[in-house]
Amino acid sequence: MIMMLHRQEDLMVRLTKIALIGSLSLLASSAWSQTNVGADHYGGLPWSVAAPQGAEWTLSCGFTPVTLERSIYDRKHWANRLNRTGRGPQRGRLPGDNGSCTLTKTNGSGAVAIALVKDGVAKSAATLHREKPVTVNVF
């Protein structure tokens, strides 16, 4: 009976160690999957919002997680989203090579459009209506 209890305790210790190692491996792999872009926050995909008649808009882009250097004190800031508001045309870049951007017209006249460019190919979408945001995905 004592030998059987000892074997069960041994088995529980081994299973606990295996579970702990598996958990640590999972955490490490998710941390390694983030791309470190350093101080080059906007070296990835170019995006462009067109609003020829000066309409106001909001842009929300999601992308795979990156770590970036925001200051000498914050060298490993984590990000996976870019939010902008604007009026008229505006351009910029995402920090990585993939993303999904949703553009919403908030005020003004005329259409608004969003374009993302990857490998020389542009994907774009446009809307005239505030209640109909448009989304462009590049993965």
Looking at the structure, tell me whether residues 16 and 42 fall in a common domain.
no
> Hey, what are 38's tokens?
């350093």
Looking at the structure, tell me whether residues 41 and 23 fall in a common domain.
no
Looking at the structure, tell me whether residues 96 and 48 fall in a common domain.
yes
Question: In this predicted model, what pLDDT tens digit does every residue of 32-53 receive, in sequence order?
Answer: 456 655 555 566 899 999 999 9
Distance CA 105, CA 134 (A): 9
Mean pLDDT of 122-126: 96
Q: What percent of the chain has pLDDT over 90?
A: 50
Looking at the structure, tell me whether residues 39 and 57 fall in a common domain.
yes
How many folded domains does the chain comprise? 2
Looking at the structure, tell me whether residues 124 and 64 fall in a common domain.
yes
Looking at the structure, tell me whether residues 26 and 61 fall in a common domain.
no
Looking at the structure, tell me whether residues 55 and 113 fall in a common domain.
yes
Provide the residue range defining the domain that includes 28: 1-33
Q: What is the mean pLDDT of the chain?
A: 78
Looking at the structure, tell me whether residues 54 and 5 fall in a common domain.
no
> Hey, what are 55's tokens?
């309409």
Residue whose token pair is 């106001």: 56
Which is higher by pLDDT, 12 or 137? 137
Run of H or E residues at 24: helix 2-32
Look at residue 25 and tell me whether its pLDDT is greater than 50. Answer: no
**What pLDDT score was predicted for residue 12?**
56
